[in-house]
């Protein structure tokens, strides 16, 4: 803490220097004294792993790290200081956790020099120094000019730090709120008072179970009721819980007991990053089987909910007409999409092998799955081919991210285009014509099969003929040969 005594010592040193330094400098020297700022990366960082949890660490991490879970809304603040801990639960969709980010600031309410006193002292110091320099030396360029400016800037009420002490912030990841830390990392953080920052913690890549609950624990050893970090959070309420895969908790006794924050609908501001670990291709059994996951989500809008239900039922029935096994079809409709997607992918992963073909069909305005980047979970499938079909506005943007070897991707529109609906059709234009493409007449190459490529050719032409010129279906095809899925 800067005190009057410290300031007077600085003035004395400055006056001595102005007396004995040369009066002129032929080569002016510029001195830059940077202001204190937040250092987002660790000045010192150390991690600790329990022996039991070392098996969760990936030895050869992937270079592909994606945003997984996030909650970025809220202006409320929870105080973090010695003994006052906070936690946020979350459900990862990726099976490797690599990084967490927390949105915080630093508050200092300790008694110190008041702003009027600082202003008065600032004026006195400035006058004293200027008078002394005028009496001692007159020069155009001087080291002292810069030193004076820097000293005055440092003493300014806008930049003075009442308390310069910083404390370690510690993040840990747990499977249970009262359980053992899977990983624990502390870092020294320097930041300006009341400025807001995203602080990143790079973790040793941890294998996690998608759709299972984990906890981010945040605490510090220092501070008190007047000097503390704030972790920002959203005051959700039962009608506006923006992050539905977790909740915020707090502890007033260093984590011995925990309570949900406020009404249990609140969430701290945070982000998690990770990736899908790529597994070796599965061996086949010599038989090609077909698996499909249909996820149709109207996202609470009455008409769209009805469209979603119609599409899911019609597509399932159409596939069964052409001999698909109903046990190979999984339907997720409306509210079941977000809650059931990860388990449905796990089911398909368990059932398929290296000779099989899998299809994912997603429907809905800004489809929940691709908006939340959950399509990465399809990477774990061991089938020899994967078809991804999305009927959603701006769905073309997924091609750059999810287009990979062995895949065929059909999207209802370009990355910058809407996807239209026609009330008389019962669902989107694209889906309407996709269902109509499942017909023996669409077997253009007459090989006895309807392929995704043949379906796309029909859909693209029909959408254009309907006059929807602002909706251009897109195709990505990196599957060897035709992706045949309907035998006729």
Convert the pLDDT of each residue in 373-411 to its tens digit.
Answer: 678 888 888 899 999 999 998 999 999 888 989 999 999
Instruction: Give me the CATH topology for the region 290-487.
Output: Rossmann fold (3.40.50)
Convert the pLDDT of each residue in 38-87 to its tens digit.
Answer: 333 322 233 333 334 433 434 344 457 889 999 999 999 999 998 999 99
Q: Would you state the pLDDT for residue 338?
A: 79
Confidence of residue 114 (pLDDT cuts 50, 70, 90): very low
Rounded distance between C-alpha atoms, residue 79 and residue 320, angstroms: 57
Name all contacts of 108-114 with Cβ < 8 Å and 24+ positions apart. 108/161, 108/162, 108/163, 108/193, 108/226, 108/227, 109/226, 109/227, 110/1, 110/162, 110/163, 110/226, 110/227, 112/1, 112/162, 112/163, 113/2, 113/3, 113/4, 113/160, 113/162
* Between 367 and 233, residue with greater pLDDT: 233
For the chain, residues classed under CATH 3.40.50.1460 are 290-487
The model's pTM is 0.54
Convert the pLDDT of each residue in 256-294 to its tens digit.
Answer: 999 998 777 899 999 999 987 765 567 888 999 999 999
For the chain, residues classed under CATH 2.60.120 are 45-109+164-275
Pairing of strands 329-333, 290-296: parallel
Q: Would you state the pLDDT for residue 266?
A: 92
Is 1.10.8 the CATH classification of the domain at 45-109+164-275? Answer: no
Does residue 330 have a pLDDT over 70?
yes
CB atoms within 10 A of CB 457: 16
Does residue 156 have a pLDDT over 70?
no
Confidence of residue 125 (pLDDT cuts 50, 70, 90): low
- Mean pLDDT over 437-465 rounds to 95
Rounded distance between C-alpha atoms, residue 98 and residue 203, angstroms: 5
- Mean pLDDT over 83-97 rounds to 93
Pairing of strands 357-363, 385-391: parallel
Among 359, 273, 352, 345, smallest CA distance to 316 is for 359
* Between 301 and 4, residue with greater pLDDT: 301
């Amino acid at each position: 803490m800067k005190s009057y005594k410290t300031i007077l010592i600085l003035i004395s040193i400055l006056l001595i220097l102005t007396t004995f330094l040369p009066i002129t400098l032929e080569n002016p020297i510029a001195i830059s004294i940077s202001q204190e700022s937040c250092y987002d990366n660790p000045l010192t960082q150390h991690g600790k792993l329990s022996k039991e949890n070392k098996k969760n660490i990936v030895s050869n991490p992937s270079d592909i790290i994606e945003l997984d879970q996030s909650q970025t809304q809220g202006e409320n603040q929870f105080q973090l200081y010695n003994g006052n801990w906070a936690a946020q639960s979350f459900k990862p969709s990726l099976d490797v956790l690599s990084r967490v980010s927390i949105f915080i600031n630093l508050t200092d309410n300790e008694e110190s020099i008041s702003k009027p006193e600082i202003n008065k002292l600032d004026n006195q110091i400035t006058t004293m120094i200027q008078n002394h320099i005028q009496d001692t030396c007159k020069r155009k360029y001087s080291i002292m000019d810069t030193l004076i400016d820097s000293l005055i800037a440092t003493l300014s009420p806008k930049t003075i730090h009442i308390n310069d002490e910083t404390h370690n912030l510690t993040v840990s990841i747990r499977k249970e709120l009262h359980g053992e830390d899977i990983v624990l990392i502390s870092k020294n953080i320097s930041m300006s008072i009341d400025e807001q920052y995203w602080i990143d913690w790079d973790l040793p890549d941890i294998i996690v179970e998608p759709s299972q609950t984990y906890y981010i624990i945040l605490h510090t050893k220092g501070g008190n009721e007047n000097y503390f970090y704030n972790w920002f959070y959203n005051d959700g309420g039962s009608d506006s819980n923006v992050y539905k895969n977790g909740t915020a908790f707090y502890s007033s006794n260093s984590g011995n007991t925990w309570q949900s924050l406020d009404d249990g609908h609140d969430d701290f501001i945070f982000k998690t990053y990770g990736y899908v670990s790529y597994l070796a291709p599965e061996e086949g059994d010599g038989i090609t089987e077909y698996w499909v996951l249909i996820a149709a989500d109207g996202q609470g809008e009455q008409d769209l909910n009805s469209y979603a239900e119609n599409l899911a039922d019609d597509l399932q029935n159409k596939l069964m007409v052409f001999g698909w096994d109903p046990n190979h079809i999984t339907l997720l409709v409306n509210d079941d999409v977000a809650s059931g997607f990860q388990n449905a992918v796990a089911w398909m992963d368990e059932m398929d092998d290296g000779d099989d073909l899998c299809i994912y069909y997603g429907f809905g305005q800004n489809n929940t799955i691709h908006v939340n980047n959950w399509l990465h979970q399809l990477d774990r499938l061991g089938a020899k081919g994967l078809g991804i079909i999305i009927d959603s506005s701006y769905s073309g943007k997924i091609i750059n991210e999810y287009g990979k070897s062995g895949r065929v991707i059909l999207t209802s529109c370009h990355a910058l285009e809407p996807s239209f609906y026609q009330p008389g059709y019962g669902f989107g234009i694209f889906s309407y014509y996709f269902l109509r493409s499942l017909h023996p007449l669409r077997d253009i190459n007459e090989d006895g099969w309807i392929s995704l490529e043949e379906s796309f050719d029909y859909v693209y032409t029909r959408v254009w003929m309907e006059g929807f010129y602002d909706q251009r279906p897109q195709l990505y095809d990196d599957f060897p040969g035709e992706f045949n899925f309907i035998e006729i």
